[in-house]
Amino acid sequence: MTEAQTATPPEPTKAKVKQPPVLFEQTQRVIAEASRALGGPLIAYWNNPRGSVCHNDVIALYELLDKLGQHETIYLFLKSDGGSGQVSLRLVSLLRQHCRRLVALVPLECASAATMIALGANEILMGPTAYLTAVDTSLNHALSPVDRDNERVSVSLDELQRVIRLWRAEQPDSTENPYKHLFQWVHPLVIGAVDRAESLSIMLCRELLAHHIADEAVANQIATTLNSKYPSHSYPILLPEARKIGLNANPLRPDVNALLVELNRLYSEMGQKATTDFDEIHAHGNEILNIWEGENLQVYFQQDKDWFYRIEERRWITLNDNSGWRRIARVGGKLKRSLMHIA
């Protein structure tokens, strides 16, 4: 048995661990300028492609809103690939406790659960490269199939239904049950869980739209369209399509769009992978995944952990995990940094 295959991971070679940059002063300048241009407070929410909308985001947002207080209108910059739709409902509910009118600013991708956040806004302002997406639910279940890296994969109801439809279209005279063969690859409990999650997704969309659309039939039509019309979960819904399905979507002013694109550039620099490779099976990962920011306050989640590749299981495992939420605030002209402990 080789050293890499022993039960206890060997000690990695010592090396200086790389750290991601935190560009608080630069992002604060952009947020201040954008707030002046908009005529109201701006809250920024940004996800690294490996980050997601998660329950801890609610506490992070509360930190900002507690400091921000009540306003007639709050502007929310959104850049995310999605995450938990149930968290989207919690985030919108929290935002609406601090404003009468919520405006979503979308300069780039605003996908899946982020689209659901945008549904809770009175108005969605979209830049030239902006898009929303379908919100049909995919589920990563404990009994989901595994990929080549031995990781559980997400399963969507739309994909399962298309397999069944294709089976029946190709074999219209067959009396054989297609689920009998599908169950060899996807556990029956996964199929049931995904079907349940699809119903939940439609319900969440209706609840979010109810914040500003009184007509239940209109809200239900928009929710159903976003959950079932599009052939791909990542189908880009551009401004004309967003208007067509009934959303109050309008163009984002060029000057504001330019500021938000610059803000995204700064966040992308903060969110770059800072990986330190010790050898072929040991590494340390430092990466900022989620960022919330408002005037004089930035809250972000930083992944900070050692990685060890367990060859016999064909997967990376984590060691010495110091990941967590960090907080930077400007108090009396000075910067105060602290950890946020969110359980």
- The tens digit of pLDDT for each residue in 254-272 reads 999 999 999 999 999 999 8
| Average pLDDT score over residue span 181-208 | 77
pLDDT the model gives residue 8 = 56
d(CA 103, CA 260): 14
pLDDT the model gives residue 110 = 95
| Average pLDDT score over residue span 48-64 | 92
pLDDT the model gives residue 190 = 73
Is pLDDT at 10 greater than 60 in this prediction?
no
* pLDDT-derived band at 5, boundaries 50, 70, 90: very low
pLDDT the model gives residue 129 = 96
Is pLDDT at 182 greater than 90 in this prediction?
no
**Which CATH number, 3.30.420, 3.90.226, 1.10.8, 3.10.20, labels domain 3-134+230-340?**
3.90.226
pLDDT the model gives residue 143 = 66
pLDDT the model gives residue 27 = 97
Is pLDDT at 200 greater than 80 in this prediction?
no
Most confident listed range (120-124, 186-190, 203-207, 269-273): 120-124
212-to-101, 233, 244, 288 alpha-carbon distances in Å = 9, 25, 17, 34
Cα-based angle 330, 72, 117 (whole degrees, multiple of 5): 80
Q: Which residues contact 144 (CB under 8 A, 6 or more apart)?
A: 152, 153, 154, 155, 186, 187, 190
Tens of pLDDT along 15-54?
788 788 889 999 999 999 999 999 999 999 999 998 889 9
Cα-based angle 92, 97, 101 (whole degrees, multiple of 5): 75
Is pLDDT at 169 greater than 60 in this prediction?
yes
Is pLDDT at 130 greater than 70 in this prediction?
yes
pTM: 0.82
Q: What percent of the chain has pLDDT over 70?
A: 89
Measure the N-to-C terminal CA separation of the chain; round to a whole number of Å.
Answer: 40
d(CA 127, CA 74): 18
Q: Which of 12 and 33 is assigned the larger pLDDT? A: 33
Is pLDDT at 3 greater than 50 in this prediction?
no
* pLDDT-derived band at 6, boundaries 50, 70, 90: very low
Please state the domain extents for the chain.
Answer: 3-134+230-340, 138-194
Lowest mean pLDDT among 112-126, 152-166, 266-280: 152-166
Is pLDDT at 79 greater than 90 in this prediction?
yes
Tens of pLDDT along 270-329?
998 877 777 888 887 788 899 999 999 999 999 888 888 888 777 888 788 888 999 999
* pLDDT-derived band at 2, boundaries 50, 70, 90: very low
